[in-house]
């Protein structure tokens, strides 16, 4: 069985025949040198299937699913609310957070956010590639940018507030519910005092000081997710 895994956005099922898109076909045939009758796997939220190349026509791979390898998996909802930053660091955050199990990304424009737009299509591509690489099935969602007020009003969640000013260094597992857990990471210039007060007034929030030092955004993300994974797993 090949270890090549590709995300397939359409419905997957047993004995399904279909075609890969141009980019995936190029990757299979020109990069990985997979040939007719050789196998690879396709996955999405429905599960994962071993698949065989039936033929290659006009540089497009035609395939057939052979057998289901894994059924869909209901993961614990683990979200990341973060301030957009420069693209290369932001790409790193999406990649590593996907590998660590984040199921939804929520970019937030804070008072001190410098980068105020995201390339959603590019970030979705990075999330798909990280999902393929990390043996996950569910590709995380990436929401459009929003402000803090909308984020707090429209979401029901257990909020983990990474706060350098907090004295709390542990998560109280007994306060976690069945709601999604959301980690919120501030901008490079930190939260404003008004934002801190607004977040701390949210029902279900737990402030957490993840380190005595001031961390870069990408370091704070990896540290916070690792702490939460340790608590809930």
Could you tell me the CA-to-CA distances from 106 to 27, 43, 47, 205 in Å, in that order? 30, 24, 25, 17
pLDDT tens digits, residue range 143-182? 999 999 999 999 999 999 999 889 998 999 999 999 999 9
- Domains present along the chain, CATH in parentheses: 5-71 (2.40.240.20), 78-232 (3.40.1280.10)
Confidence of residue 56 (pLDDT cuts 50, 70, 90): very high
Tell me what the pLDDT averaged over the chain comes to. Answer: 94
Q: pTM for this structure?
A: 0.92
Q: Residue 106 and residue 123: Cα distance in Å, rounded?
A: 12
pLDDT tens digits, residue range 79-121? 999 999 988 999 999 999 999 999 999 999 999 999 999 999 9
């Amino acid at each position: 069985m090949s270890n090549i895994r590709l995300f397939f956005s359409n419905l997957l099922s047993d004995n399904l025949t279909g075609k890969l898109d141009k980019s995936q076909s190029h990757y299979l045939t020109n990069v990985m040198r997979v040939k007719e009758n050789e196998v690879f796997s396709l996955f999405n939220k429905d599960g994962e299937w071993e698949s065989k190349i039936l033929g290659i026509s006009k540089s497009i791979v035609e395939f057939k699913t052979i057998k289901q390898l894994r059924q869909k998996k209901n993961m614990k909802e683990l979200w990341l609310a973060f301030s957009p930053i420069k693209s290369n660091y932001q790409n790193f955050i999406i990649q590593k957070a996907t590998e660590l199990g984040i199921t939804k990304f929520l970019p937030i424009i804070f008072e001190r956010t410098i980068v105020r737009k995201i390339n959603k299509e590019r970030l979705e591509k990075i999330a798909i590639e990280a999902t393929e690489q990390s043996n996950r099935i569910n590709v995380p969602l990436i929401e459009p940018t929003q402000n803090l007020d909308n984020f707090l009003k429209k979401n029901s969640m257990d909020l983990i507030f990474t706060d350098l000013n907090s004295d709390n260094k542990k998560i109280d597992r007994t306060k976690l519910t069945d709601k999604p857990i959301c980690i919120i990471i501030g901008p490079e210039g930190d939260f404003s005092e008004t934002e801190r007060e607004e977040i701390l007034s949210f029902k279900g929030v737990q402030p957490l000081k993840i380190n005595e030092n001031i961390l870069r955004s990408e370091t704070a993300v990896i540290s916070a997710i690792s702490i939460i994974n340790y608590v809930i797993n």
